[in-house]
């Protein structure tokens, strides 16, 4: 039986608002589209969380054996400051302020985004299309929507006719909003009187004099609306119907709602069958955002150079911290939580390294029960991951293996009872889930040196334990104090374990 059959995925579908068994359109293949960043500023840790959530989906699907085409776009035009149809283009504004070309802004922050993705070991998508690279596709898309009667032109701009669309389809099916309620809640904004209805949104905007980014079109020299690129590019690379569409929870409305409407308005199919929304990273309960002043960059995170940070944290610590919660729950940032994650991450990785130092398994009287128990933790971790990509639960299952490995190391007679094949299976899969699915890797540049250090520390920690056991407190204190003078701090944990940190 293949892993795909053995571990069927169930996923919470934001469109149907229920957990469903995941069934791709084409057997063993998955098409996935995720909204990428608007490249006008440095990405903050909140953005990282969303892209990490979909990195796990991408990695796990591949781990099971799916062939995945993962499309994640770069928004390099059309996203206006007001998020709706008002204000300056975010990129053009930055270009004006920095006195550079808009495309220099785009290049600078696209490079920065890629660096950050690499820092957190987030894999590159299969295709990373840009909005400006797909203007022809967007213009063709608009033409079809107009032809179908769901959009109108006014003074060189083109708007999507929400009311008309709602007569044939259901605007609000994703966000659960009711068009009539929305109509009574929206005011006509000053300067937006071109729209027949305040709910209508721009597909094409005529560029005002002085607007930096514009292209020719049948309607005017102008630029596309923000929502359009995702409809045009997902259709181009994944087809009118595809499997998964993802993005942050804050994109559900209006961005994703508009995307579905554009798709159906153009070619009747709504795009993705499964919509997945990743939840927000918050700080003291508030969404992390540039505008809130609580959005630190990865650089600030590593150096600790931000008022909210007590000290710096490594990228893998942060990755582990984020994976300890389910993608659909909000996650609140705190120094305490990160410090706890740092310990957890080190503990997990230390047991990965310990595996290679263990003696052979199965050399004694093998216990089938204990061997099955060990394999069962892997089975559990896989079931957790297939249960709506629950990394939090999977990590808990992996810690069961981690503690078994520690036990085997302390007490090799326990390992003698484990069937060699079961041991190989469990430890190989244990490492693979950690490295390939969770994307957690050892952070020391020189892994071999790190092994030696970990080994030497274990010798010293055990020596100190023995000294304490035989009540030779002078020796146990000397070990602790001498280590301190070379910058290594020992800490006795509650469970009797001793950990160390390097200053």
Residue 418: cis peptide before it, omega within 30 degrees of 0: no
Q: In the structure, how many helices (H) and strands (E) does the chain have?
A: 18, 15
One residue of 37, 129, 270, 362 binding ligand AMP per CB under 6 A: 37
Q: How far apart are CB 82 and ligand AMP at their closest, in Å?
A: 13
If the CB atoms of residues 17 and 286 are measured against ligand AMP, the closer one turns out to be 286
Name the binder of 250 from ligand AMP, Zn ion, none, CB < 5-8 A by kind: ligand AMP
Q: Which is nearer to ligand AMP, 289 or 328 (CB)?
A: 289
Among 13, 14, 38, 390, binds ligand AMP (CB under 6 A): 38
| Residue 281, both tokens | 């990273």
Single residue of 287, 404, 429, 480 touching ligand AMP by CB under 6 A: 287
DSSP notation for 416-438 = HTS-HHHHHHHHHHHHHIIIIIS
Q: Is 259 annotated as a binding residue?
A: yes
Rule CB under 6 A: is residue 78 a binding residue for ligand AMP?
A: no
What's the min distance (Å) between Cβ of 503 and ligand AMP?
Answer: 32
Q: Binding pattern to ligand AMP, positions 193-232, x when CB under 6 A?
A: ----------------------------------------
Stretch that binds ligand AMP, among 47-55, 230-238, 357-365, 410-418 (CB under 6 A): 47-55
Integer Cα distance of 430 and 9 in angstroms: 20
Distance from C-alpha of 354 to C-alpha of 497, rounded to nearest angstrom? 15
260 near Zn ion (CB under 5 A): no
For position 278 contacting Zn ion by CB under 5 A, the verdict is: no
**What's the closest the beta carbon of residue 16 comes to Zn ion, in angstroms?**
20
In whole angstroms, how close is the CB of 389 to ligand AMP at the nearest point?
Answer: 16
Return the structure tokens found at 53.
Answer: 């959530």
Contact at 8 Å (CB) between 439 and 59?
yes
DSSP letter at 150? Answer: S
By CB under 6 A, name the one of 14, 50, 132, 273 that touches ligand AMP: 50
Which of 150, 148, 146, 144 minimizes the C-alpha distance to 162?
150
266 annotated ligand-binding residue: no
CA-nearest of 55, 69, 198, 224 to 140 is 224
**Minimum distance, C-beta of residue 309 to ligand AMP, in the bound complex (Å):** 16
Using CB under 6 A, which of the segments 33-41, 143-151, 204-212, 371-379 binds ligand AMP? 33-41
Residue 255 among known ligand-binding residues: yes
| Sign for the pseudo-dihedral over CA of 113, 115, 120, 126 | positive
Q: Examine residue 230 and tell whether it contacts Zn ion (CB under 5 A).
A: yes
Considering just the CA atoms, what is the radius of gyration of the chain in Å?
27
The reply to whether 23 sits in an annotated binding site is no
| Nearest-approach distance from CB 254 to Zn ion, in angstroms | 11
| Nearest to 137, CA basis, from 262, 310, 288, 315 | 262
35 vs 401, which CB is nearer to Zn ion?
Answer: 35
Report the C-alpha gap between 399 and 381 in whole angstroms.
10
| 151-154: strand order across its sheet | 151-154, 157-160, 201-206, 222-224
- Containing 118, the helix (H) or strand (E) segment is helix 102-119
CA distances (Å), origin 63, targets 7, 71, 166, 384: 11, 18, 41, 14
Using the rule CB under 5 A, is 35 a contact of Zn ion? yes
| Least distance (Å) between residue 38 CB and ligand AMP | 4
User: Toward Zn ion, which CB reaches closer, 161 or 234?
Assistant: 234
Q: Is the dihedral of CA 58, 251, 180, 199 positive or negative?
A: negative
Which residue ranges are tagged as binding site for ATP?
290
Q: Binding site for Zn(2+), residues? A: 35, 230, 255, 259
Q: Which residues bind ligand AMP (CB under 6 A)?
A: 35, 37-38, 46-47, 49-50, 247-248, 250-251, 280-281, 287-289
- Residue ranges binding Zn ion (CB under 5 A): 35, 230
């Amino acid at each position: 039986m293949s892993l795909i059959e053995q571990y069927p995925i169930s996923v919470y579908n934001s469109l149907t608002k229920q957990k469903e068994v995941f069934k791709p359109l084409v057997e063993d293949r998955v098409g996935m589209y995720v909204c990428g960043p608007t490249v006008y500023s440095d990405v903050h840790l909140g953005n990282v969380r969303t892209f990490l959530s979909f990195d796990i989906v991408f990695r796990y699907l591949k781990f099971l054996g799916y062939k995945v085409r993962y499309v994640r776009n770069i928004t390099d035009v059309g996203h206006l400051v007001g998020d709706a149809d008002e204000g300056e283009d975010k990129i053009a504004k930055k270009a004006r302020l920095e006195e550079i070309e808009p495309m220099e802004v785009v290049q600078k922050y696209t490079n920065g985004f890629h660096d950050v993705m690499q820092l957190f070991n987030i894999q590159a998508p299969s295709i990373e299309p840009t909005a400006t690279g797909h203007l022809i596709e967007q213009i063709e898309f608009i033409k079809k929507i107009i032809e179908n009667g769901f959009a109108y032109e006014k003074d060189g701009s083109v708007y999507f006719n929400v009311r008309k669309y709602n007569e044939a389809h259901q605007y609000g099916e994703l966000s659960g909003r009711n068009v009539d309620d929305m109509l009574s809640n929206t005011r006509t904004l000053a300067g937006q009187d071109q729209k027949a209805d305040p709910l209508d949104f721009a597909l094409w905007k005529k560029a005002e004099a002085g607007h930096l980014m514009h292209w020719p079109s049948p309607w005017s020299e102008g630029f596309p609306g923000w929502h359009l690129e995702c409809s045009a590019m997902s259709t181009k690379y994944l087809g009118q119907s595809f499997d998964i569409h993802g993005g942050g929870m804050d994109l559900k409305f209006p961005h994703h709602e508009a995307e579905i409407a554009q798709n159906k308005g153009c070619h009747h199919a709504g795009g993705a069958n499964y919509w997945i929304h990743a939840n927000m990273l918050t700080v003291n309960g508030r969404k992390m955002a540039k505008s809130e002043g609580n959005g630190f960059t990865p650089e600030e995170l590593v150096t600790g150079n931000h008022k909210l940070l007590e000290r710096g944290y490594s990228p893998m610590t942060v990755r582990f911290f984020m994976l300890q919660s389910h993608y659909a729950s909000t996650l609140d940032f705190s120094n305490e939580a990160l410090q706890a994650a740092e310990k957890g991450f080190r503990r997990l990785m230390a047991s990965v390294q310990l595996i290679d130092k263990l003696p052979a398994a199965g050399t004694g009287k093998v216990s089938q029960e204990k061997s099955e128990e060990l394999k069962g933790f892997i089975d559990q971790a896989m079931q957790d991951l297939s249960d709506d990509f629950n990394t939090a639960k999977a990590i808990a299952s992996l810690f069961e293996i981690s503690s078994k490995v520690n036990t085997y190391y302390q007490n090799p007679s326990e390992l003698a009872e484990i069937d060699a094949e079961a041991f190989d299976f469990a430890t190989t899969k244990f490492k693979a889930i950690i490295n390939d699915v969770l994307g957690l890797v050892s952070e020391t540049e020189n892994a071999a040196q790190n092994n030696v250090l970990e080994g030497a520390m274990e010798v010293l920690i055990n020596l100190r334990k023995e000294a304490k056991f035989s009540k030779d407190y002078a020796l146990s204190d000397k070990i602790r104090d001498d280590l301190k003078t070379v910058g290594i701090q020992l800490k006795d944990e509650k469970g009797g374990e001793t950990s160390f940190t390097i200053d």
